[in-house]
Structure formats: structure tokens, C-alpha cells
Amino acid sequence: MTIHKEGKGTLTVSFIALFIINALVQYLTDIQWLHIATLAISVVLYAIVLQFFRNPKRTVTLNPDAIICPADGKVVTIEEVFEDEILKDKRIQLSIFMSPFNVHVNRYPLGGKVAEAIHHEGKFLVAWHPKSSTLNERTTVTIDNDRWGKVLFRQIAGAVARRIVMYAKPEDLALQGSEYGFIKFGSRVDLFLPLDSEILVKEGEVVKGGITELAKRP
């Protein structure tokens, strides 16, 4: 397992800050138990930040007939909605909630040409808030695919997630399962699939990015 490139700056700053705190505690007091407690807490905090940025190797099995999971997490929504930003029609919305303890890499759920890749500034409501998908900071990516038509998916920031990274650009050729972005410290990814999609997962199911098949077309 490797550390994702998006974590290098955060990990460096965290290490320096914790080092300074421990140095000050050592310098300002002779209380031994306080030295040990500060060091122990620092190690735990750094380990937590470190695991946020882990990037385990995944063997992705390409399947043009399937939508594969774009993120690790839990399926929290499967419902019919009207997508009014770009698609302007009814779709099946499938939402995956990423906790702070999930892998935060986001992957293309299908291959094709990137038609839109848009970043929206916004708020930081909790990810399960009903209006987070329209009010929070988010990105919108659409892929033109011969089998699926146009599929839209979004990265949505939450109360903890404060930075969304999107690598996708219009006209890019997307490879199913490859990285298209990263959400620091968790949040949510929404997919908007054709109404005739056969959904292969259920609400509450734990899924893995690049591994779990979410839907197929009949």
C-alpha cells in the first residue's frame, strides 16, 4: 500500500506541527507522564491522518456492460430523481457515502470521453443533508459512452471534507477504474444512471472503488 500524492503536503505539515508541540512540552515542563501522553497522542493523531491518504493497489476488471464503484464507502441512496443541471431528465441516483476512514480515491465508473468537468464552489453541509448535493462544494463530470449514453457523477464535499480534487478535463479519454479525483477526509459521490439500469447493490451495502459492480444494462 502506498500514500496518495494528495496527502504529502498535509502529512508534512502535520508532522512538523506535532514535532513542535512535543518539543515545546519537553522544553516547558519536566513532568514525565505529560511527555509520554503528548507523544502517544501525537502518534495516534498522525496515524489517523496517515490512513486518510492510503492508496491500496486495486486490480480493476474492465467491464463495458457495468458501472463499477467510483469510491469506497456505503450506499446511502438509490432513488429516481430529475437531474436538472446537465442531463435534464429522470435518472436513478445512486449515492455512496465515504466516511473519514474509507479510502478517498475516486475512480471513473465507466470509460468514454469526458464531456463536462465542472467545479462548483459551495457550502460544507453534512454529506447526508438533503440539500448537500446542490448547495455544497462539488464537482460534476459527465462521460459519453457508447453503451450507456451520457452518465453523470459528482463529488460532494461535506462538513469534514474541505478540499475536492478533480483530475478530469473535457475531452479526456476516461479509462474505467482509473483515478479521476480525490476528496480529502471523506464525503459523498453521486451517480446518475439511465432508468433502465439494473441496480446490483442495495442501500446500506458496503462497496469498494474499482471493484464492486453497481449496475448493468439489460
- Altogether, the residues listed in the chain come to a count of 218
Known catalytic residues are 187
The CA angle 165-168-171, to the nearest 5 degrees, is 160
Q: With contact defined as beta carbons under 8 Å apart, do 110 and 151 qualify?
A: yes
